[in-house]
Chains A and B, each alone.
Chain A
Amino acid sequence: MKKIILDSLGKSQHRGLNFRDMLYNNEARAFFFQIVTFVLVVGLFYTAIGNLFQNIDERGINTGFTFLKNRAGFDILPFLGNYVVDYTPESSNFSVFYVGLINTLVVAFVGIILSTLIGLLIGIARLSNNYLVAKLAGGYIELFRNVPILLQILFWYNLFINLFPHPKQSFAFFDIMFLNQRGLYLPKPIPEDGFMLVAIALLLGITASYFVKKYYKKKHELTGIHTSTWPFSIALILGLPIIVFLILGSPLQFDIAVLGKFNLRGGMNVVPEFLALTFALSVYTATYIAEAIRSGIEAVDKGQKEAAAAIGLTPTQSLKLIILPQALRVAIPPTINQYLNLTKNSSLATAIGYPELMSAFGGTVLNQVGQAVEILAMAMLVYLVISLFISLLLNYVNNKMAIQGR
């Protein structure tokens, strides 16, 4: 609107199009600046890419993605990614990418769960009316939040390696789990035929319990009769798979580590690099999640709790129906952002050699192949996709939790 008025003003004062008119015309200026920016940015890219090709030519670096099919030729620290891909030095560079991706996702997944648990605990403890507990939680946050995450990762890794015993003197937990310098040895589950059915039963249970809950919620809304659904949920989610499991005759075996001459053999080895990385990431991210949760709970007006009590809700009902929905609205978005940060920070594993994306693929393969542009582009693309996914999740949650005006 503004522009149209200004335009007509300009036109009425100076008939026809002259330079002065152009100079003070908002649209002309806008067009001019955009063209200049466009030319500058495109020109910058054009020169950069031109130089890039020239440099690549001069230095004899290969281009293209054929290196992905080549033999990798190096060992990767054995962890989950290796087992999933069946990695050997004979595998291709693409398998390294795949191994790295899986290891990144594993760290992110475990780290997100752990940091949420610790964050919840610390965030609630921070608001405790117990002086000592509140101060301890505050101290935890101040301590771990103000130390760079890379320093924490290196510190815990160094401590784990120095503090944990030699394999011969492993700490044993009931002779099933062992902890030593080489990491944590867990029983390795070996699924046999028919285990798929148990997994299907679990999925079925979850879906069924969702529909049961939905049904009773609708009933509650229509008739006001409230039915507790948690017994159904437990029966469906836990009971159904257990029954299937027993009917099929326990189709799951565990391979437990045993102490050999020099080392533990068998079992599932969780390498100390993973332990240190996940521990450091969880402890660090938890401080931010704790702060988010604290601010969420503090954001709920005191009157809300009093009003809930006044209309006769029990403390549990008031927490579940009044306080939490409002607190979570404030607490969840920053928490999800922290999940993204945790995933991005997992790339710091490069410093301790845990074979995730940036360390195995962006590090070792890059050093061997030297095709920095392609390799870094692939790695960045993965992080872009992860962050896009988390942004979508955030948008979904924000929409879902937005206050609905009636």
Chain B
Amino acid sequence: MPVFDQQETRKPPISQIGAVLWLKTNLFSSWINSILTFASLYLLYIMIPPLLNWMIFDASFSFGTINFFGFEIKFSEEMATNDNCGRVGACWPYIYEKLYMYTYGFYPRTETWRPNTVFALTGLLFVIVPLVKNYKYKNRVTLSLIILYPLISYVLIAGGFGLLTPVDTDQWGGLLLTLIIASVGIIVSFPIGVLLALGRQSNLKVIKLFSTLFIEFIRAVPLITILFMASFVLPLFLESGNYFDKLLRALIGIALFQAAYFAEVVRGGLQAIPRGQYEAADAIGLSYFQKNVLIILPQALKISIPNIVGSSISLFKDTTLVLIIGLFDMLAMVNLTSNDPYWLGRETEGFVFVTMVMWAILYTMSRYSRKLELRFNTENKN
């Protein structure tokens, strides 16, 4: 009886496993793909190294000694000046020097704790709201936060009321101003947007007409014309002698603009609600107000949440436009700070820095909106 020795199993060919297989299927599956791969590699080669050289290897990091929460970090003997910073690479000491301007604008340096507290409160808000999710009185907590948070923030930043030194709005600037415009814009325009959406869906002809006209008009013109209107024409519409501050005018323009876009988003949600919901609400004798607040809007708003976040992202991007009417948001700081005779000609560093900050914020928001979209998109999964 022949005896068979068990042979060792042969390993799969090298081209069928691991990295080689991955390369073969993903990068070199056909000759066209191979060409594309090399073209992409070349593209990366001509873009990435010069960028890295400019940003890191040729750049100056001579910040001097930085006091970081009590720790002394020594980068160099002394801080670089515009001259010995070099023109080949980026001059990051300029950003460090102007960081205050980019964050707070002309906000008095002695009062920095106030915007900082608001930043901290905002962070706290994002911690508290998810924490109380299962708490019995979560609605009351959320509602009081919605009312208290803007009030506290306003008192802290603007001062006055005999509590804190008042700080004029033309001293607000930088990222602080960007965040203020974006958050006020969103908070104020949202209720108006919901009302406009309901108005456009209403059976009442006159209300429907006015809402539709407003929405379509605003959506047809660029934001900059609205901002110009708010800053040049709005003061003329008021009784003479009434003075409006520049920031408030811009905020009114932005809020009206954003309201039209929110209205369309919410209308999308309203249209997605099955007719039966309206009819059922009518059948159990709810009034128009009860029907919308208790039945329709909770469902419609839930459907529109991803789009509401998306629209808020657009608003955040649009806040940069206020620089055209002379407000000093973060982007306006680029030109302002590089006009400083001491740091002449450092626009590129400024633009790159603002781009990085804006991108980080917007990217986080858009990831969040995509996450929401996946969470709420319970149907049509294929």
Binding site for B on A (CB under 8 A): 2, 30, 33-35, 37-38, 41, 48-49, 51-52, 54-56, 58, 128-133, 136, 142-143, 145-151, 154-155, 158-159, 162, 344-345, 347-348, 350-351, 358, 362, 366, 372-373, 376, 379-380, 383-384, 387-388
Contact = CB atoms under 8 A, between A and B. Distances in A.
Contact of A344 (B26, B210, B222, B358): B222
A366 B204 contact: no
A155 B203 contact: no
Contacts of B319: 148
Contact of A55 (B220, B236, B320, B359): B236
Most buried by A among B37, B237, B366: B237
A143 B359 contact: yes
Contacts of B358: 146-148, 151
24 contacts: A34-B207, A58-B240, A129-B26, A131-B26, A132-B36, A133-B36, A136-B40, A143-B359, A146-B359, A146-B366, A148-B316, A148-B318, A148-B362, A150-B321, A154-B334, A154-B351, A162-B348, A344-B221, A347-B222, A350-B224, A351-B323, A366-B228, A384-B217, A388-B220
Contact of A130 (B36, B203, B331): B36
Nearest to B338: A158
A37 B36 contact: no
Contacts of A2: 282
A272 to B, nearest CB: 14
B237 A133 contact: no
Given A51-B239, A372-B228, A129 B29 contact: yes
Given A2-B282, A132-B40, A387-B220, 13 more contacts: A33-B207, A52-B237, A130-B29, A132-B26, A133-B36, A148-B319, A148-B320, A149-B317, A150-B324, A151-B354, A154-B331, A158-B348, A344-B223
B46 interface: no
Contacts, number: 152
B233 interface: yes
B236 A52 contact: yes
A34 B205 contact: yes
B41 interface: yes
Given A52-B237, A148-B320, A150-B321, A384 B221 contact: yes
Contacts of B26: 129-132
B170 interface: no
Nearest to A135: B40
Contacts of A37: 204, 206-207, 210
Interface of A is mostly: helix
B120 interface: no
Contacts of A348: 222, 224, 321, 324
Contacts of B348: 158-159, 162
Given A34-B206, A158-B347, A383-B225, A350 B324 contact: yes
Interface residues of B, number: 55
A281 to B, nearest CB: 12
A388 to B, nearest CB: 7
Contacts of A155: 351, 355
B43 interface: yes
B204 A142 contact: no
B143 interface: no
Most buried by B among A2, A150, A344: A150
A376 B27 contact: no
Interface in B9-41: 26-27, 29, 33, 36-37, 40-41
A51 B210 contact: no
B237 A151 contact: no
Name the 5 nearest CB pairs between A and B, nearest first.
Answer: A131-B26, A372-B232, A387-B220, A146-B362, A34-B206
A358 B232 CA distance: 14
Nearest to A143: B359
B229 interface: yes
A54 B207 CA distance: 30
A108 to B, nearest CB: 12
Contact of A358 (B220, B224, B235, B317): B224
A83 B205 CA distance: 49
B119 interface: no
A133 B40 CA distance: 6
B244 interface: no
Nearest to B37: A132
Most buried by A among B203, B210, B232: B232
Interface string B297-325: 00000000000000000001111110110
Contact of A362 (B204, B228, B355): B228
B206 A38 contact: yes
Contacts of B347: 158, 162
B222 A383 contact: yes
Interface string B327-364: 00001001000000000000110010011001100110
Contacts of B233: 52, 372-373, 376
A41 B320 CA distance: 31
B238 interface: yes
Contacts of A145: 366
Interface string B89-131: 0000000000000000000000000000000000000000000
B43 A136 contact: yes
Contacts of B362: 146-148
B291 to A, nearest CB: 13
A373 B225 CA distance: 11
B236 A51 contact: yes
Contacts of A151: 320, 331, 351, 354-355, 358
A300 B43 CA distance: 31
A131 B27 contact: yes
A390 B358 CA distance: 31
Given A133-B36, A133-B40, A150-B323, A358 B331 contact: no
A220 to B, nearest CB: 32
Contacts of B324: 150, 348, 350-351
A366 B232 CA distance: 10
Contacts of A133: 36-37, 40
Most buried by A among B27, B239, B351: B351
B220 A383 contact: yes
Given A41-B210, A51-B237, A158 B351 contact: yes
A383 B221 contact: yes
Nearest to A384: B220
A231 B330 CA distance: 57
A358 B33 contact: no
Contacts of B317: 148-149
